[in-house]
Amino acid sequence: MTKLVSQDQDLLNAVKLATDELGINLGEAAMKAGLPPDLLGNAELFIPSQLFNCVLEAIAQDFRSPDVAVVIARHLASPSLGLPTRIMGLSRNLADALDISTQYGAFYRDTGHWQHQIGQQQLVLFKRNNNYQKRFQQRNLLGTAQMHCLLGQWLGCEYVPNKISLGISNPHPKAEEALQDFFACELEYEAERDAFYLPEDSLQQAISTSNGELLQGVIAHVHGLQEEITKGSDVVAQTRLVINQRLSFASCTLDDLAFYLKTTPEVLTRALAQHKLSFEEILEQQIAEKAHYYLTDLHAPIELIVEALMSNNPQRLNELLMASLDEQRQW
């Protein structure tokens, strides 16, 4: 029996293969980012996704490799963007896959949650690009490249996109050639959202990895996780759970939170106010907790922590971090 490889191990293996192909020393890349090389050498110690996002940007810039994300994607053995894409791969057809996965957007291991719309005889599968995604273009591109691989696996030769939009800046000609070879269709750069444009009849295309029995088990598992977040706890606990889930990979805005909790920003804001709290206060508390962990347990440099968590307000993150350290010392 083939041993299952974890998502982190698969990603780490792909990173190693990609950097070898590009002639980049991975240990040197880690040290340039201010991290111990072990954090890019062992899946058990693999750095949290937010810090990895920073490392990807550093590799792209320091080693002049703006196509590093698609090289990594090409080396992934089992591309996955978390539980929603596991559900999609087990569904009967793409229509079922999209309808079911939309319910579990909080569990994407990507910079944003994938959505879809239909119009003008076209299916558009997209994730909106916020400021976080624009800042971490390589990680955002990696997620889009993984979705491209997954669609190809699920639909086989029936997967023929009309066009793919990418939020990244116009690349260097060499990188553009690599992107064109990888996606093999018309590409649009500097787009407002990363998106796949497919013929509408793609919705009815059967998924080759469909497994109805296994699908029900995975849905039950994911539904249980969703229930933990949305049921049996007050709005403050729900807010903390969703923010922590998203901060493991990217960022979380009030609009994101409302989407995941199936409410509106206005209703959510009023509900939090009844507990004398705001979304911004809770977000800062959870960011401070993450920053404390990155600093004390992973010994990440403060500059990298700021870039990962609050690059728009480093002074405020420093205040939050100092308060967290003071609180620990009081204990």
Give pLDDT tens digits for 20-42.
Answer: 999 999 888 888 888 888 778 77
Taking 60 as the threshold, does the pLDDT of residue 2 lie above it?
A: no
Task: Report helix, strand and coil shares of the chain as percent, to nearest 5.
Answer: 65, 10, 30
What pLDDT, on the 0 to 100 scale, is given for residue 148?
Answer: 98
Q: With 50 as the cut, is the pLDDT of residue 51 above it?
A: yes
Is residue 268 within 8 Å of residue 254, measured between CB atoms? yes
Q: How far is CA 253 from CA 25, 246, 256, 280, 284, in A?
A: 36, 10, 5, 9, 12
Average pLDDT value for the chain: 90
Residue 85 to residue 307: CA distance in whole angstroms: 28
**pTM for this prediction:** 0.90
Q: Determine phi and psi for 164, rounding to 5 degrees.
A: -130, 130
pLDDT value at position 159? 96
What pLDDT is stored for residue 136 in this prediction? Answer: 92
User: What is the pLDDT at residue 41?
Assistant: 76
CA distances from 252 to 132, 139, 147, 197, 255 (A): 9, 16, 21, 26, 8
**DSSP secondary structure of 89-138:** HHSSBHHHHHHHHGGGGGGBSSSS--EEEEETTEEEEEEE--HHHHHSHH
Q: How confident is the model at residue 200 (pLDDT cuts 50, 70, 90)?
A: very high
User: Average pLDDT of 120-145?
Assistant: 92
pLDDT in tens, 266-282: 999 999 999 999 999 99
Res. 66: pLDDT tops 60: yes
The Cα 305–Cα 23 span in angstroms is 27
Tell me the C-alpha distance between 320 and 314, whole Å. Answer: 10
Q: pLDDT exceeding 70 applies to what percent of the chain?
A: 96
Beta strand 122-128 with 115-119 is: antiparallel
Confidence of residue 298 (pLDDT cuts 50, 70, 90): confident
* pLDDT score, position 4: 47
Residues in the chain: 331
CB atoms within 10 A of CB 169: 11
Q: What is the mean pLDDT of residues 249-263?
A: 91
Q: What is the pLDDT of residue 232?
A: 61
Closest Cα to residue 226, out of 82, 10, 28? Answer: 82
**What's the pLDDT at 197?**
97
Tokens of 36: 């111990």
The tens digit of pLDDT for each residue in 151-173 reads 999 999 999 999 999 999 888 88
Mean pLDDT value across residues 63-92: 93
CB 93 within 8 Å of CB 34: no
Region 113-134 average pLDDT: 91
Residue 3's pLDDT is 40
d(CA 55, CA 40): 10
- What span, in angstroms and rounded, lies between the C-alpha atoms of 113 and 105? 5
How large is the average pLDDT for residues 198-202? 96
In the chain, the amino acid numbered 117 is: Q
Choice between 298 and 187, residue whose per-residue pLDDT is larger: 187
- For residue 84, the model assigns a pLDDT of 93
Q: Return the pLDDT at 160.
A: 94
SS3 state of residue 44:
helix
